[in-house]
Structure 1
Amino acid sequence: MTAIESVGSYLPTYRITAQEIGEAWDGFRARGIQEKRVPGADEDAVTMAVAACKDALADASVGRNSLATLIVGTTTPPREEGDIGTTIAEILGLENDIEVSVHTQSTRAGTRALLAAVRADGPALAVAADCPQGDPDDAIDHGAGAGAVAVVTGDSGPTVRQTATYTREFPGTRFRQRGSESVETYDATAYEREAYTTTINGALELLDDVPAALAPTAPDGSLPGRVGRSADVDSVHHLASELGDTGAASPLFGLLAAWDAGEETVAVLGYGAGSSVDAIVIEGALDVDWARPATDISYPEYLRKRGHVLSNGGDH
C-alpha cells in the first residue's frame, strides 16, 4: 500500500444554525448538531469534489499528469446514470488514460474510495463528496450538511497499517428510493443505534489492536460517542456538530479533525446503512486546514437553496 501524500477539502460558504431551523419547526430534530453547511443552488457533489481535488493537488508533489487512478465516492451524484468520474477528470484536466471509478449508494463510499486509492498501482486521487437531504420536517434534513475531502496518494506521508471490513444486514436503517432526492429511515431510533454500533464494533474487533483515536461516519453528533463508549475509546473525532451530516465525506472529515487534534494513529470508520463498515487504521499525520469562512442564512433562504421551495415561493 502507498502513503497519503496530501489532503484537500471543500465546504460550501452558506451556513445555517440549529436554532434557526428549530425555530421554524418548533424544535431541532438532529442530535448533537449546532450548525451545518449548505450547498448553493449551483453546487453539487461534482463541483464540491472538483474543489477538494484542486486543494489536495495544490499540496502534492505528484503532478496531475502522473496520476494513474481517480476514485469518487458519493451518495448524491447529480444524475442517476452517467459517469460523474469522467466529468471530474475532464474538469481537472487529467490524462485521458487515467482509470476512473465511482462508488455510490452507501455512505461507506468515501472509505471505499480511499481504500481503492491506497491499493492502486501508482499515484491516485480519491475524493468523497456529499450533500444529502431529507424531507424538511425530519431529523435527516435538519442534520444534512455538505462538503468534500480529497486525498492524493504517493510515496511519502501517513500510511495505512491495517484494514478490515464487517458486514451484517440491518435493512431499513437509511435509504433513498429510486427517483427520490430525500433520504429516509424507518425512524426506529434504538434499531438504528444497534445497527451503527454493532457493525462498527464488529469491524474494530477484526483489527489487531484498536487505536486510541476513532474517526467514524457521523450521521449526527450523538452516534459517534456511543461507539467510543462501547469500544472503550475516549478520543472520537467528527465534525458533524459544525458541518452537519456530510455523508460519504463524513469519516474523512473526522480524520482531518483527528489530525488537527494531534492524533498520530487513527481508525477511520466508514459506515454504510444496511449495513457495512470499513475500518482503516492510518499511522502518521498531515497538517490540515479544513476551516472555511461562512455566511449565515435564514431558514427561508435555506429552503430555496436546497430546492424545497422554488424561488417564486412554490413548492418543489
Structure 2
Amino acid sequence: MHHPLFSRRSAGLSALALILAAGTVAPAHAETAISADRCEANKAAGKITFLTSFAYAATLGILDVVAAKERGLFDDLCLDVAIEPGSTNSQLVSANTAQIAGVGSASDVMVAIDNGADIVGVATYGNVGAIELLTMADSGIEELKDFEGKTVGYKGAIAPQFSAMMLDNGVDMGKINWVSVGYDPTILPNGNVQGLGAYKSNEPKVLEAKGNSVKEWDPDAYGVHSTFNAMIANKQWAAKNPTAIEDFLRAEFKAFDWINESDANLDEALSYAEKLSTSGYDVKQSKVRWQTELALMQGSLPEGMMPGQQSDAQWQPEADMLVRFNLVKAAPDIETAQDNTYIDAIYADGALVWPAP
C-alpha cells in the first residue's frame, strides 16, 4: 500500500530558496509545516509522553513513532514528544502521567475503560488478530482437542481469543495446564511447554529462523476475529488539545508512510530503534517483524479506510467476545470507547494531509 507523501526534502529546498531570496533567517518552524496559530496551540499542550507497547520493538505504532521523533516530524508540528517504554499503559495514560500510548488491541482499551480508566482509543492499525498459539510441528497435536492434558504458556493473561477458539471447538479449558511465561520462545522446542501463546510477527519467525518447524493455531482461522495495535490517549487531555493529538497522529503516520517507501528507509528506522534499545536488538528479525505486521494490516484494512482509521464495526467482535467471557462488567459502549475525530482529521481524499492545515 502506498499513499502520496509530502517530500520533506523538496519542502526544505523550497524554503531555502525563499530564505536566500529574502535574505532572512528561517523561523524555527517553517510556515509550510504548520500555521502560527496551530503551532501555538500545540506548544500549549506541553510535553507529550508517549509509552510504547513493548520496548522499542519493530511493531506498528512503535517504530513509526520512533521514526517521527528521530526525523523531526514532531518538531515540525511544534510538538514536544518524549518516548518511553511502557508497562501499565492504560493506567498511566488514565492518570495523565503519559498522554498517549500503544496497547495490544481494542480489547485492552475496552477492558481498561470498563475498569474505570479515563482513556479513549484514537487509532487502530490491524483489523485482524496478531496473536496465535504455537506447537512444534511434530508434537502430535493435530486438533484443538489435543491441547487437553498439555502445558501451554501465555504472557500476562490468557487471551480471550484463545479461550473463544478452544470453547467453540469443544475443548475443556480446565484440562489445559496454562502457565505464565516470559518472552523466550525456545521454551517450546526445549519441551518446557507443549503450546505457546505468540505474536504472528515474532515467535514463529524467530523459531523458524533457528531451524524449528512449528504449527500455528490462528484464532482468526477459527472465526475468532479481533484487532491489533491500538493507540490510546488520555480522554480529557485529548479533548483539551485536539490539534496536538491530531498532529501527533499526523507525524506518526507520515513516518509510517516514509518507512514503507523503501527498504532503505525501513533499515534507517530500525537503526533508530536499535540505538534506543538497551537490551540488544536483532535488526534482521525486527525487519521481518515489521514486514509481517505491515502485511497483516494491509490485508485487513477495510475498504475505503486509511491506516489507523477505526469504526464501531471493527471493534464489535471483540466487544461481543468480552461480554461472552464475562471479562467486562457491562457491554462496552464502543461509540464512547473510541474517538475518531482525531484520526479522521489527518486524512483527506484518500491521502495523509501534510503539512498540517
TM-score (norm 2): 0.25
Report the structure number with the largest CA radius of gyration: 2
More helix by share: 2
More strand by share: 1
